[in-house]
Each structure stands twice: as structure tokens, then as C-alpha cells.
Structure 1
Amino acid sequence: MSFSSLVGSSSSSSHPLVPYGWDADWEAEFAPHAEQGLLPGRVVRVDRGQCDVVTAGGVVRADTAFVTPHDPLRVVCTGDWVAVEPGGNPRYVRAYLPRRTSFVRSTSSKRSEGQILAANVDHAVIALSLAVELDLGRVERFLALAWESGAQPVVVLTKADLVPDPVTLAHLVHDVETSAPGVPVLTVSALHGEGLDVLVALVGSGTSVLLGQSGAGKSTLANALVGEDVMDVRAARDVDGKGRHTTTTRNLLALPAGGVLIDTPGLRGVGLFDAGSGVGQVFTEIEELAERCRFHDCAHETEPGCAVRSAVESGELSERRLESYRKLMRENQWIVAKTDARVRAELRRDWKRKGAEGRAAMEIKRGRFQ
């Protein structure tokens, strides 16, 4: 991919970085760095301690040695606004501006570390391929992370041309809409240009990050939005619809119709990282039902007066949706407990209580059969 594709077309606006999201608030944040003679720029790619930064004079390569802390959530990432030296070999990033939003997932590390995928994002575009069976649980997982980041999620069902029957397509859209309350759900065929106008209008302002598994059609979608082949595309495997990692780094692209797009590699694992409020926003109907439960700490299992279980029994709420909610809440609680002593203590008390209840139930059973 050429850097000219990353830089995009010139802007008639007063500042050359306006197409990349530069505004009066960023200018005010940058003022102290401007007084030191540093230049503003936005990170378009990060690679092993080096990053490519788009500045008023073009894309420059800079070293991040001065802004590489031990905390993985504070390293420079794609989408950051940074202060870079006006020259030098090597040239260094001296600081980055406070982030408005950040998309974070947990790593596979046993130390419960988070990994920041993109910064200063307004829309999280979650791409799902219609070439394979939809995994609604994964949709909900992506949405939880998106809501937690502070961005507005958007679900895009790609490869719609592979579902020619409109009735079947409508059912699939309905299933996703049920799993994504309050979230726009779009169907597109990037190959044929169908449905792209709505997506272009939606991402036409601000910064959007493109997320999804390998084979979801993200690179094809990015090329369609940019209007040229800036990302490599490979065919997905016929056997399972999975693709290979054609995108290996996170890249920031200026869109010709306005807005900025951050394309990301396919995500195999999407672990939650302190995303309790995000999970709650994905499952708003369960959270609202829980307020009507008899006990404020109801686990929605066998407790009397449980409004959530009653909704499942009446068909108002699906068992799958409740199980997905429980799974994500447990996972998030486990992640938080690794670094929060209070949450760990609460988990221990809960385990002891359930253990005692289980033993009591066994004693009752034994008494009946003796």
C-alpha cells in the first residue's frame, strides 16, 4: 500500500489535517506542544516501536521510544494524535494527546492485560459475513467492547449477494437486530456496490474502526469505501468461510466522501476488558427486567420472584440471550477480579454461598432416600 493512499486528497480547509479529524478542540489540546516547536500529526500505523504519522507536510516515520510506558494501554496506537519533532534522524514522537475514546480488548496474557486496538474512534463498524452461519454470541461480544469504548457501534452484514432470497435475508437481519438493540444493522455487497451509500453517509464524519474476523470482508469493504484498492484481498476458504490475515497492521485511511477509517487485522479472540457497562448496554432488556426481581442480587437461576426467568418462561426473552449475558458477565467479572481485591472477595463469597447451597441440597436428597 502506498503512503499516498494513506494521505488522501488535499483539503481546501484551513488546516491540512482536517480530513483526518483535526478540529478546534484538538488544536487547543495541542497548544502547549506547539509552543515547544513540535508538530501535530495523527498515527496511521504502528510497527515495532516505530509509527507512521500523517502531518501537515505528509507522512513521516517516527520513533516512539519517549512514549512507551510499561502500561500496554498507554502505548501509542493507530488513531492517536501525537506531537512529533519537526526534524531529526531518527525523528521522535514526544507525546500523544488525551484520547477521547479507545477500543480495548483483553490479551491472552495471564496477567489480565488490555490491548488497545484503536484510539479516538466515533463509530465501531462490526463486519459479519453472510457467507457463514451468524454467531450471535460473537456479535454481542463485539458490541459490548464497542459500547465500552465510547464509540457508536454499527453492524454491517457483508456479502449480502450470497443470500439472494429476500425473506431469508430479512430473517438474518432480524436476528442480528434482536441481539443488537439500538444499533444500526446494514446489509452490503461491496463486490456489487449494494448498500454502500448508507454506510458511506454514516461513516462520513468522524473516525470509524472496522472490526471482525478474518474472512468477514473487511478489506474488500475498506477498498469500496476508499474507492481504490488500498488493502490486499484474498478469497475466504470455501469449507468454513474463514479468511487469511490479509491485513496485518491497523491502518488509518482518509475517505474521499469524508471521515476516516481504521482497518484492523481479523480478530480471532475478542476478550472483554473491564466492559461491565458495555455488556449492560448490549443486554438492556435483561438489565431492565432484573430491576423487577424480588432480590436485588438475583442470579436469575432458581430464585423466587425472578422477573428474568419469568420472561424466559413466557417467551419474552430467549434462553440463548440470557446464557450469552451470563457468560459475558462472568468473563468480565473474572477479568476485573484479577486486579480488584474487592471483586475477588465478592466472588469468593458467592462461590462459598453456592457451595453451601449445593451441599445442603445434597443432604436433603440423601435424607429422602435413606
Structure 2
Amino acid sequence: MNTLRTQLFNSKLESFKEVNVNDMNVQNLGRVVTEQKGAYMVMTKTGVNLCKITGKIRFETVTREDLPAIGDWVLINDEGSTIEKVLPRASKFSRKKAGLEADEQIIATNIDTVFILSSLNDELNIGRIERYLLLCWESGANPVVVLTKADIYKNAAEKRKEVEDKLYGVKVLTISSITKEGIEELSPYFGMGKTIALVGSSGVGKSTLTNLLLDDDVQKTNEIRDGDDKGKHTTTHRELFLLKNGTSIIDTPGMREIQMWQGQEGLSTQFSDIEELAHSCRFKDCSHNEEPGCRVKETILSGELDPNRFSQYQKLQREIAYMERRGNKRLESLERKKWKNIGKQRKLK
């Protein structure tokens, strides 16, 4: 394993030098694998260390985005006990934190692919998958929808085709972690230095898949309830694991709420067909209700566009706009507090 980490860290060191992060060497390079009550487990070239952050990072933090997250590459001190710098992120998968406040929850960073897992059953929710897709497109990672439990549910091929038709070009796979059916289709997404995050509801098979890929029972598992995608939270925290082929897997707890944090770019990607239609409307500010020359309305009436898909697009559009307004107000408030604290520190000096 040390040889594997050495190979991985040496390759990552070169990639960071390409973006002018030169004040480091491989001995000080680490990757956050999990967080525990404000402390961080950091994978290094030689092992895994428990680290805290510097007072400077804590003082300069304005939002959650400023703190380390699972998947972050970081610089640590020579003793291997303190995170001194979070290196530039290639991607960031996040959602609105559960609750009323407009806070961001970062699920994982520096991921190449997100496996969106959903169980193959009668309650498979396309709208829920679309929410995950929006977060994924916004993150900068590539989404793959993985339909699990193919060994239990009948008509897996038909269900896969149905989901593919509704998601317009998104890659959809069916697997069974028990019989290993379809697992070989996941192989193109693996490789030295690649990172994959597993997301989805509780009980859909994220931890079972993680155990299969690691060839070890590192994560507790529990069966899904019959008839829906709801299960017990067997995974209670996010954690990064390193496979023998150099791929990193980030297992995550089931998400009960998938609220948008940001998503306008993701919306345009996932619903590009609707936005292209909207550009053909007679009026640029068309609301797609009663205006004459509305291309979207014409397409719905002709049966070319599913009205439920359009309704989902409008719902997500409103939600994203609302969260952007709340997020901007909160950011302004946090910035004011930051500069107020800086002013107090200067007076004390």
C-alpha cells in the first residue's frame, strides 16, 4: 500500500506544480479522508495522520468552503499534525445543508465521477435522480446513474431503458454487488489518481459496492425496505478509501434531503432541450403560460415534451433562484462580520 500511495502522491505533486503550487514537496502532501468533530484524518505518503487546521485558516474562514473537506488535497506541516493549506479544487460536490439556514454542505471534492445509486424497484424516483444530476453537473464531475439490486428486481433491462429515455444522454448502468452482474461496466471510470463519489438514498447499496470494490467488509451494510428506496443509515459519515488500482472511492451517508445550493449551470445542462425550445419562443421573456408563439407550450401540446419534465424544470428553476438570493444575503452578512472582527483585532494591537 505504501508503494501505491507513493505512486499516487508523486503523480499528484506534478499536477499541482502545473498550477503553480510550488511551495511543497511530496512529504508535505496529504489528502483528507474523513472528518471527525473538527479534526481531519489525512492520508499521506506513508500512512494516515490525525490533523487539525492552523489558527490562520480558522481565523480567515468566512464560509464552509474555506475549510478542508473530504477529498481535498492539502499541505501539512513537517510533523504531519497540522493542515497548513488547502490546495486548489478541481471539483466540488455540495448541497444545501439540511435545515432552514442557507448553509452549504460539501459532500466531496476533487472527484472525477459521481455514481448516483438508485435501487431497481417500482418506486424509482426520476425527479430525485435529476436533483442529484444537477448537483453533479454543477460540481464539475461526470455523473453516472447506477441502478442497483439487479439480482432481485425483474425487468432490469427495461427499467434501464426507461431511465435512459427520461434522462436524455446520461449514462445509466445496472449492477448487482451480490452476483457481480454489470460490475465490469464500471471499470472505465477507474484508474490511478481517479476519484469516484457514491451518492444516493440509504439502503441502495453504496456501502455494499464499496466493500466489493475494496474486497473487504470496511463498511456496515443493511438491506433496503421492500417497496421503496428508504433504508437505515448504515453509513454515518463520509470517508475516502483507496483501491488497489489507485482509484479513490468516497462513500457517503444516504441523503434524505437534496436541496439545491447552486445549480443554474447544472439546470442548463440537464434540461438543455427545454432551454433550446425557450430560445425559439416569440418573446424573450416568455413565461410559457398563455403567451402567443410559445414554442415550449406548442411542444407540450404536440406530445413531444413531457409536461411533468417541464414542471420539474420550473420547480428546480424557482428553487435555485431562491437559494441564490438567500446565499448572497448570507455571504454579505458573513463578510461584514469578518471585517468587523479584523477591525477589532487591529485595535487590540
TM category, shorter: 0.7 to 0.9
The aligned residue for residue 142 of structure 2 is 152
Return the alpha-carbon distance in structure 1 between the equivalents of residues 196 and 313 of structure 2: 26
Larger radius of gyration: 1
Q: Is the 8 A contact 1:123 1:203 kept in 2?
A: no
Return the alpha-carbon distance in structure 1 between the equivalents of residues 303 and 179 of structure 2: 39
**Quick one: which of 187, 200, 210 aligns to 1:222?**
210
**Quick one: which of 35, 46, 57 aligns to 2:46?**
57
Q: Is the 8 A contact 2:117 2:206 kept in 1?
A: yes
Please report how far the alpha carbon of residue 298 of structure 1 lies from its aligned counterpart in structure 2 after TM superposition.
Answer: 1.5
The aligned residue for residue 118 of structure 1 is 108
Please report how far the alpha carbon of residue 183 of structure 1 lies from its aligned counterpart in structure 2 after TM superposition.
Answer: 1.7
CA gap of 1:103–1:241, structure 2 versus 1, over 3 A, is closer
SS in 1 for 2:12: coil
> Is the counterpart of residue 77 in structure 1 residue 79 in structure 2?
no
CA displacement 1:178-197 (0-9 Å, x = unmatched): 33223210000011101001
After superposing on structure 2, the runs of 4+ consecutive aligned residues of structure 1 that deviate more than 6 Å are: none
Could you tell me which amino acid in structure 2 is paired with residue 180 of structure 1? L
The aligned residue for residue 177 of structure 1 is 164
Q: Is the 8 A contact 1:132 1:241 kept in 2?
A: no
Q: Superposition pairs for residues 176-195 of structure 1, below 5 Å?
A: 176-195=163-182
The aligned residue for residue 133 of structure 2 is 143
Q: Is the 8 A contact 2:123 2:229 kept in 1?
A: no
Please report how far the alpha carbon of residue 322 of structure 1 lies from its aligned counterpart in structure 2 after TM superposition.
Answer: 0.5
Return the alpha-carbon distance in structure 1 between the equivalents of residues 278 and 48 of structure 2: 51
TM-score normalised to the size of structure 1? 0.82
**Quick one: which of 28, 41, 45 aligns to 1:39?**
28
Please report how far the alpha carbon of residue 11 of structure 1 lies from its aligned counterpart in structure 2 after TM superposition.
Answer: 3.3
Could you tell me which amino acid in structure 2 is paired with residue 122 of structure 1? D
Cα RMSD (Å): 2.1
Aligned-pair identity in percent equals 38
Return the alpha-carbon distance in structure 1 between the equivalents of residues 324 and 21 of structure 2: 34
Could you tell me which amino acid in structure 2 is paired with residue 26 of structure 1? F
Gaps of 5+ in 2: 330-349
The worse-fitting range, judged by mean Cα deviation, of 57-66 and 320-329 is 57-66
CA gap of 1:203–1:230, structure 2 versus 1, over 3 A, is same
The aligned residue for residue 341 of structure 2 is none
> Is the counterpart of residue 286 in structure 1 residue 274 in structure 2?
yes
Please report how far the alpha carbon of residue 107 of structure 1 lies from its aligned counterpart in structure 2 after TM superposition.
Answer: 1.6
Q: Is the 8 A contact 1:158 1:189 kept in 2?
A: yes
Q: Is the 8 A contact 1:207 1:259 kept in 2?
A: yes
> Is the counterpart of residue 92 in structure 1 residue 82 in structure 2?
yes
Could you tell me which amino acid in structure 1 is paired with residue 184 of structure 2? D
Please report how far the alpha carbon of residue 132 of structure 1 lies from its aligned counterpart in structure 2 after TM superposition.
Answer: 4.7
The aligned residue for residue 286 of structure 2 is 298
CA gap of 1:19–1:259, structure 2 versus 1, over 3 A, is farther
Please report how far the alpha carbon of residue 108 of structure 1 lies from its aligned counterpart in structure 2 after TM superposition.
Answer: 3.2
TM-score normalised to the size of structure 2? 0.87
Q: Is the 8 A contact 1:19 1:258 kept in 2?
A: no
Return the alpha-carbon distance in structure 1 between the equivalents of residues 24 and 236 of structure 2: 32
CA gap of 1:19–1:234, structure 2 versus 1, over 3 A, is farther
Please report how far the alpha carbon of residue 225 of structure 1 lies from its aligned counterpart in structure 2 after TM superposition.
Answer: 1.7
CA gap of 1:295–1:244, structure 2 versus 1, over 3 A, is same
SS in 2 for 1:316: coil
The worse-fitting range, judged by mean Cα deviation, of 120-129 and 19-28 is 19-28
Please report how far the alpha carbon of residue 169 of structure 1 lies from its aligned counterpart in structure 2 after TM superposition.
Answer: 2.5
Return the alpha-carbon distance in structure 2 between the equivalents of residues 258 and 185 of structure 1: 24
Count of residues paired in the alignment: 324
CA displacement 1:243-272 (0-9 Å, x = unmatched): 211111111111223421111111111111
Could you tell me which amino acid in structure 2 is paired with residue 230 of structure 1? V
CA gap of 1:269–1:302, structure 2 versus 1, over 3 A, is same
